[in-house]
Structure 1
Amino acid sequence: MTTAHDYSGHREYGDIANPELALKYAIQHVSGDRTELVEGVISIVTPAWDHERAAKIVRRQIEARVDELGCVEGSGNLDLPGSSNWYVPDIAVVPDALARDGAALLPDQTLLIVEVTSKSNAETDRVVKRRRYAEYGAPLYLLVDRVEKTVTVFSGPGRLGYTEVDGPHSFGTPVRLPEPFGLELDTGGL
């Protein structure tokens, strides 16, 4: 498992000699809460209400199981060390003990990552983030594609991508989230 870096209190990270650290420092100290770094490009995430509504529908369906697992769901920072990527997923489920110190977490420290597409970021969520989440060991990636009106569950992460794909399923089709969740999502309201 890779270790997350704490960029918060280190002035040397502003040093141009290490562009990854300088960019990640800037993302945390200069920009707003929902700013990402995707393949070296700074992206300010400003979700519309229909986007937030879709995320809320998923969040409500998983929150009881998240509590049972001793976890928390939210949209905190995810660092991808050794790359020019710093993500703020729409939903990430992480163990409560890891969510206590405020530091960025790594994809392999999550139980589930959910991304909800918008017209402006659909390809990023479908291709770039799916590849990077797999490469960095996120065990489950749920893609709610509002543009295509589908839901896909990716599991079995590896360096070359996810080895298991369940979907895409049209909105309205029940979608099974595998263990440790073991529940069926109602996608009818998405």
Structure 2
Amino acid sequence: MSALPSERSYDAVDPEQALKYAIRHYAGDRVQIVEGVIEPMAPQWDHETLADDLRYQLFGRVRELGCVMGSGDLDLPGSSNWYIPDIAVVPRSLSKGGRALLPDQTLLVVEVTSDSNGDTDRVVKRRRYAEYGAPLYLLVDRQERACTLFSEPGALGYTKAIGPLPFGEPIELPEPFGLRVDTAGF
């Protein structure tokens, strides 16, 4: 005799996978999950303008490297985190297939702070990007008017930081970029 629908066990459902599936397929708007909290993504135009200025400076070098940049999904498996960075640079070959990537598959992740979530970018995402192996994390802190480049990720965080450098001072992105970012317009 088969079990009635009300008698079925749902113990086998993986909560992490169910949550990530739900936001990708049913949330409607673009949302991310930060430490289990669903956050809608609705950046203001001043935020988007700064991100666009940075994309413009990176564009030529990103193409030379055979990469793409955008704000695609980054999964952090084994955690209740699903991020949508402001900018991520990834190898073009990994950008196909419609799936989320992992932070260690990026060359660079950029977060531009907003009034509503600045501490998330400064603390939580910095720790998690390091834990999941993102090689470079550029924090563009609009509230502090400064940029910080984090590198050399490890389980306990990034072991190297350049900055915070006030807006107006250039920030050097190391190889494979070998690029100086002008922050005067930020």
* TM bracket, shorter-chain basis: over 0.9
Q: Does 1:86 align with 2:87?
A: no
| Structure 2 match to 1:63 | 59
Letter in 2 for 1:129: K
What is the aligned length? Answer: 177
| Structure 2 match to 1:19 | 15
| Structure 2 match to 1:180 | 176
SS at match of 2:21: helix
Unaligned runs of at least 5 residues, structure 2: 1-9
| Structure 1 match to 2:165 | 169
SS at match of 2:56: helix
| Structure 2 match to 1:42 | 38
| Structure 2 match to 1:130 | 126
| Structure 2 match to 1:115 | 111
In structure 2, relative to structure 1, the CA distance for the partners of 1:187 and 1:16 (3 Å cut) is farther
Larger radius of gyration: 2
| Structure 1 match to 2:27 | 31
**The one of 148, 154, 158 aligned to 2:150:** 154
Q: TM-score, normalised by structure 1?
A: 0.91
Of residues 25-34 and 57-66 in structure 1, the stretch that sits farther from structure 2 once superposed is 25-34
* Alignment check: 8 A CA contact 1:78 1:104 kept: yes
Deviations 1:143-167 (A, max 9, x none): 0000110000000000000011000
Deviations 1:2-51 (A, max 9, x none): xxxxxxxxxxxx98731101110011011145200000000001000000
Q: CA deviation at 1:124?
A: 0.1
Of residues 83-92 and 24-33 in structure 1, the stretch that sits farther from structure 2 once superposed is 24-33
CA RMSD of the aligned region, Å?
1.3
| Structure 1 match to 2:6 | none
Q: TM-score, normalised by structure 2?
A: 0.93
Q: Does 1:189 align with 2:185?
A: yes
Unaligned runs of at least 5 residues, structure 1: 1-13
Letter in 2 for 1:84: S
